[in-house]
Structure 1
Amino acid sequence: MLRKYGYTNGALTGFILLLWISVFFIGGIYGAYSWAILKLVLPILGALGLMINLIMLIISIVKKQKSAKLFINIVVNIMLIFPILMTMNSIPFAYPNTIERAHPSITVSWPLTSETVVGWGGNDVKDNLPHAVWASERWAYDLVMEPYSINSESNEDYGIWNKEIYSPVSGIVIAVSNNEADITPGTEDFKSIEGNYVYIKIKETGTYLLLNHLKKGSVSVEVGNTVEPGDFIGRVGNSGSSSEPHLHIHHQRQDPTKVIHPVLAEGLPLFFQDIDGNSMPNKDTFIKPHPLLK
Structure 2
Amino acid sequence: MELLIKIFDIGRNEFIFKKLLRKYGYTNGVLIALILLLWISAFFIGDLFGVYSWTILKLILPVVGAIGLMINFVMLIILIVKKQRSVKLFMNIVINIIFIFPILMTMNIILCAYPNTIERTQPSITVGWPLTEETVVGWGGNLVKGNLPHAVWASERWAYDLVMEPYNINSDSNENYGIWNKEINAPVSGIVVAVSNDEADITPGTEDFTSIEGNYVYIKIKETGTYLLLNHLKKDSVTVEVGDTVEPGDVIGRVGNSGSSSEPHLHIHHQRQDPTKVIHPVLAEGLPLFFEDIDGDLMPKKGALIKPQFH
TM-score by length of 1: 0.98
- Whether 1:151 aligns to 2:174 is no
- Whether 1:173 aligns to 2:173 is no
Task: Give the 5 Å matches for 1:1-294.
Answer: 1-292=20-311
User: For residues 27 and 172 of structure 1, what CA distance do their matches in structure 2 show?
Assistant: 27
User: For residues 216 and 275 of structure 1, what CA distance do their matches in structure 2 show?
Assistant: 28
User: For residues 13 and 195 of structure 1, what CA distance do their matches in structure 2 show?
Assistant: 40
Provide the aligned length of Structure 1 versus Structure 2: 292
| Residues 3-44 of structure 1, C-alpha deviations (whole Å, 9 max, x = no match) | 121111111110110111111111011111110011011111
Q: CA deviation at 1:192?
A: 0.5
Highest CA radius of gyration, 1 or 2? Answer: 2
| Residues 184-215 of structure 1, C-alpha deviations (whole Å, 9 max, x = no match) | 11111111110000000000000000000000
User: For residues 263 and 29 of structure 2, what CA distance do their matches in structure 1 show?
Assistant: 46
| Residues 29-78 of structure 1, C-alpha deviations (whole Å, 9 max, x = no match) | 11111100110111110000001101111222122222222211110001
Runs of 4+ in 1 over 4 A off after TM superposition: none
Partner SS, residue 137 of structure 1: coil
Partner SS, residue 14 of structure 1: helix
Structure that is richer in helix per residue: 2
Structure 1: runs of 5 or more not aligned: none
Structure 2: runs of 5 or more not aligned: 1-19
TM-score by length of 2: 0.93
Name the counterpart of 2:14.
Answer: none
User: For residues 189 and 3 of structure 1, what CA distance do their matches in structure 2 show?
Assistant: 53
Partner SS, residue 174 of structure 1: strand
